[in-house]
Amino acid sequence: MSEEATLDDFTETAEEAESGEDGEQELFGLGEIPAYWTIDSLADIAEIIPGNSPPSSTYNEEGEGLPFFQGNSEFGHFHPKADTWCSDPRKEAEKNDVLMSIRAPVGDLNIADRNCCIGRGLAALRPETVSGLYLFYNLAERRPWLSRLATGSTFKSVTKNDLQLLDVPIPPLSEQRKIATVFHNVDQAIQKTEKTTSQLGRVKEGLSQTLFSEGYRNHSQFKSTKYGEVPESWRVLKLAEITSQIQAGGTPDTNEPEYYGGDIPWVKTGELSQYRVKETEQNITEKGFQESTARLFSPGTILIAMYGATTGEVSLLDIEATTNQACCGVVTTDDMKPEFLFHQLNYLSNHLKSLSAGSGQQNISKGIIEKFDVVVPPVEEQSSIVSVLNSVDESISENKSAKRQYQRLKQGLMQDLLSGTVRTTDTTIEVPDEIAQYG
């Protein structure tokens, strides 16, 4: 078998694959499937092993015994990550078993990469007549249905009996392996983009630390500030001194339907987790804008989350937009390039967040923002620093976009391949050994 199967191998042939040529049959939760596929209960194709938590006295962090997984909190992309071991396991999963979360959130999946101990929050599914990797992806597609199957007023869960009755569409083994290969390749592409994005994030962090302390030019003289040493020629000013406007937004009355659904973008703090705001989840009408405290900010405005889950997060407006009252809009003067301040506030975000107050919900007031210290290099040097950091941001954005495209591709393929709408029977997909090991 080949060592590698590419996405192109499938993409070129899947478009030509025919569906429904051998008749179809109905499967609850998945619609129609090819007539030559079988429908088996999970109990008929896999051993179902509910977990059982051992005494806490047998837990350890020194690697004694087997890795112990209690629920989906230890799940990784594909394999679980151990931080606890058990010297006297009650229930064990074997290498290549499918691990399913059977307590809220129900239906999350991983595959055991070694023998391990499983607690009450998990069940091990040990494939007997099917490819374990095919079973993994089939159950992943049906996760919403598994969640609806869960019962319980406090903690939703599914039982072994629930799982035993679950119907699973089963194509021939050769087709199972090809389907699993396609999904595995897409997952690898997704993980590659995530790894690259993470690496670029570390590169940007290192560049920011250098550029905001040593500058872009070859400075020879430095001075001490609250943030460490910076070039002697740089000024340290409060935000109020280099801005023309620092103002929170407003929210039109949510009980007035005519205030919403217009063509004026309206930013909420939850949207400040993205670096640049290019579009909004919600728009308001001209009437909603005029009859509320909402303010219209121009492109280039820096937005700071004043309270809520994203307190201290900073974004840059790429569009003309209004904001809710939890967003503070900061408009700079000619002494400060908006993008430079945006990058600097992101770099200093931990300092900004540390100033938040409140015993319950943390918040940053307008006054705190106005008094926040920033460094101000000459405008020309600001431009040079912005150019460097923007180039890294563009690469990060490209990788995030690629990840979203792969995720959409995977979702579409799941619907098509696992229902038999698109066939792999006539494709030239070669199954690598790493896929064949799952059966």
429 vs 417: CA distance, rounded Å: 14
* Alpha helices (H) in 281-418, listed in sequence order: 286-290, 338-347, 349-354, 366-370, 379-417
195, burial (CB in 10 Å: exposed 0-12, middle 13-18, buried 19+) = exposed
Nearest to 87 by CA among 114, 67, 71: 67
| Cβ-Cβ contacts under 8 Å for 133 (sequence gap 6 or more) | 111, 177, 180, 183, 184, 435, 438, 439
The length of the chain, given as a count of residues: 439
99 vs 78: CA distance, rounded Å: 10
Which residues of the chain are in CATH 3.90.220.20 domains? 39-170, 235-376
| Residue 14, pLDDT score | 43
| Residue 305, pLDDT score | 93
Distances (CA, A) of 282 to 159, 257, 259, 295, 398: 41, 13, 11, 15, 25
DSSP state of 260: E
83 vs 99: CA distance, rounded Å: 17
Sheet with strand 260-267: strands edge to edge: 282-284, 260-267, 321-323, 296-297
| Residue 356, pLDDT score | 81
Q: Tell me the DSSP string of 17-36.
A: ---STT-EEEETTTEEEETT
Sheet with strand 109-111: strands edge to edge: 46-50, 122-127, 98-101, 109-111
Helices and strands, number each (H, E), in the chain: 12, 26
The superfamily (CATH) of domain 235-376 is: DNA methylase specificity domains (3.90.220.20)
| Residue 21, pLDDT score | 44
259, burial (CB in 10 Å: exposed 0-12, middle 13-18, buried 19+) = buried
- Exposure letters 274-310 (e unless 16+ CB within 10 A, then b): ebebeebeebbbeebbeebebbebeebbbbbbbbbeb
* Alpha helices (H) in 169-275, listed in sequence order: 173-214
390 vs 200: CA distance, rounded Å: 12
- Residue pair 314/364 in contact (Cβ under 8 Å)? The answer is no
435 by DSSP, 3-state: which? helix
Helix (H) or strand (E) holding 111: strand 109-111
Nearest to 353 by CA among 344, 362, 361: 362
| Residue 402, pLDDT score | 97
Q: What is the pLDDT along the chain (439 residues), one digit of tens a residue?
A: 343 445 555 554 444 443 444 445 444 455 688 989 999 999 999 999 999 999 999 999 999 999 999 999 999 999 999 999 999 999 999 999 999 999 988 999 999 999 999 999 999 999 999 999 999 999 999 888 887 777 765 568 889 998 998 999 999 999 999 999 999 999 999 999 999 999 999 999 999 999 999 999 999 999 999 999 999 999 999 999 999 999 999 999 999 999 999 999 999 998 987 789 999 999 999 999 999 999 999 999 999 999 878 889 999 999 999 999 999 999 999 999 999 999 999 999 999 888 886 655 678 999 999 999 999 999 999 999 999 999 999 999 999 999 999 999 999 999 899 988 888 877 888 888 888 888 8
CATH 3.40.228.10 describes domain 39-170: no
Rounded to the nearest 10°, the torsion over CA 255, 258, 260, 262 is: 180
| Residue 5, pLDDT score | 46
Q: Tell me which amino acid residue 299 is.
A: P
